[in-house]
Structure 1
Amino acid sequence: MKKYLTLTIVALLAAINANAQLKPVDYQDGEQKLSGFSIAPARNVKDQPGILILPAWKGIDDHAKESAEELSKLGYFAFVADIYGVGNTPKDNAEAGKQAGFYKENYKAYQKRIQLALEQLIKAGANPNKIVVIGYCFGGTGALEAARGGLAVRGVVSFHGGLGKDAKRPNEPLAAKVLVLHGADDPYESPEEIAKFQQEMRDSQADWQMVYYSDAVHAFTDPYAGDDKSKGAAYNPKAAKRSWEQLQVFLKEVMK
């Protein structure tokens, strides 16, 4: 009997691990085809929490997919969202700036693409009541937009993301908890914009945190960003490690 139970447990774990692989998922926004990536937890966790990952300004990249794999190991369902759509992946920085700029200006369209990706995360098996959105750079802006748009998520996390929004937009109450992980030397966020963001959080009566990392510029979590800080974007291993640990603390808190 004991041998049978052991074999059953081994078979069950093998089945779980076999599913813990990134799988492409096609979905739609009207006529526009979208293609994201889904991964199941590598181990069984109570309540089946889920994490939606919003990529940086060049669209789905290795960094976003690797983050999904790491979250799977921690016991989360994860989904990497396709914001731009099939056929619209930027070829260079100029195109990336144009594409990202469109969604920052047309924030309702950005929120809709995030919502569609959330639906895919839930279809994959994530508990709709236990979801957090995280994002990198442009995706960090998207994570904040998920909170601003009142999407049904427990919390949002911005890694070196853009914090600003159109000053004409009112500061609405925010239900989702907010965590901003920010490079102390990020040249793309001015002190004025940071101050406006923090005031927005106060006006919105948000439960928010903002953590600064020394010697870190933009894209500090991205191992593919190089190490030349003079360019304004560079990988910082220490800041990347610390921010990932901070994410895990946040997830444990909001997923209770």
Structure 2
Amino acid sequence: MTTVTTRTIAYPADGLTMLGHLALPAGTGRRPAVLLGPEGPGLNDVQRRRADALAELGYVVFAFDLHGGRWISDPQEMLARVMPMLADPDRLRDLGRAALDVLRDEPRTDPGRIAAIGYGTGGAIALELGRAGEDLRAIGTVNGLVTGRPGETERIRCPVWAGVGSEDPIMAPAQREAFAAEMQAAGVDWRLVVYGGAEHAFHHPPVGHAVRPGVAHHPRQAERAWRDVLGLLAECLPVT
């Protein structure tokens, strides 16, 4: 097992002081990098562990923050903050670009080899960075199949992978179909994996508080989705 170095980085975004998690692989040279976006409640140890696991594989990883160092456990409070974000593509882009600047400023990052992977709200941010024309090698979104403004998806210049649970009431079949139609019409190299029996946030381990209906962990499909994320990175951003 290689040695991973981590540190917390404070940076400004959305009128807050964000606290992101940087994970660096062993060595001193430049490496391919991954911008990692959290679910709507925000950055927690689940995402930090994901970042560390990717750093073990040789990637520089920055798991970014959404709420100024908070992880919002109350569903209603979380929705009150997140839903206006999701309705404002420019705000999502500003959140993503602030984090992307941190990742690009890291000396270990190869700025020409960056992927954006996100879960829920973090996945929506990854997609909006692509629609904004940011130079990315791959975009991955789990449960964040948001559609964009007309004519902007054509700016995505890298493969897009999306994953969603078949029983997800938030990313329902109509939303999946709209996402697929948008990607296809824009000429994007895209794929969509539907994980049978899984609900919303199936990839996140159980939490010790009430969650919205239709939100549940599905361990088998969570493991498969993680393998698919790794496969996307191996294809588009190989560690050499």
Aligned match of 1:119: 101
Gaps of 5+ in 1: 1-12
> What are the within-5 Å matches in structure 2 for residues 1-256 of structure 1?
17=3, 20-29=4-13, 32-41=16-25, 43-44=26-27, 48-86=31-69, 90=72, 92-124=74-106, 125-161=108-144, 163-165=145-147, 169-173=150-154, 174-225=156-207, 231-256=213-238
Residue deviations 1:138-168, cap 9 Å, x none?
212222212122122111111122x2336x6
**When the two structures are aligned, how many residues end up with a matched partner?**
235
Residue deviations 1:15-43, cap 9 Å, x none?
x72xx2331101123853222111101x4
Aligned match of 1:9: none
Shift of 1:232: 1.1
- State the TM-score, normalizing by the size of structure 2: 0.88
CA contact (8 A) 1:83 1:114 kept: no
Shift of 1:67: 0.6
Report the secondary structure of 2:130's partner residue: helix
- State the TM-score, normalizing by the size of structure 1: 0.83
Moved over 6 A (4+): none
CA contact (8 A) 1:44 1:75 kept: no
CA contact (8 A) 2:119 2:143 kept: yes
Alpha-carbon distance in 2 for matches of 1:61, 1:91: 11
Shift of 1:202: 1.0
Shift of 1:85: 2.8
Gaps of 5+ in 2: none
Alpha-carbon distance in 2 for matches of 1:156, 1:121: 15
Shift of 1:62: 1.6
Q: Which amino acid aligns with 2:133?
A: G
Alpha-carbon distance in 1 for matches of 2:162, 2:221: 13
Aligned match of 1:8: none
CA contact (8 A) 1:53 1:68 kept: yes
Query: Cα–Cα, structure 1 residues 194 and 30, in superposed 2: closer, same or farther, change >3 Å?
Result: closer
More helix by share: 1
Larger radius of gyration: 1
Alpha-carbon distance in 2 for matches of 1:57, 1:213: 20
Alpha-carbon distance in 1 for matches of 2:111, 2:206: 32
CA contact (8 A) 2:75 2:211 kept: no
Between the two structures, name the one with larger relative contact order (CA 8 Å, sep ≥ 6). 2
Q: Which amino acid aligns with 1:223?
A: P
More strand by share: 2
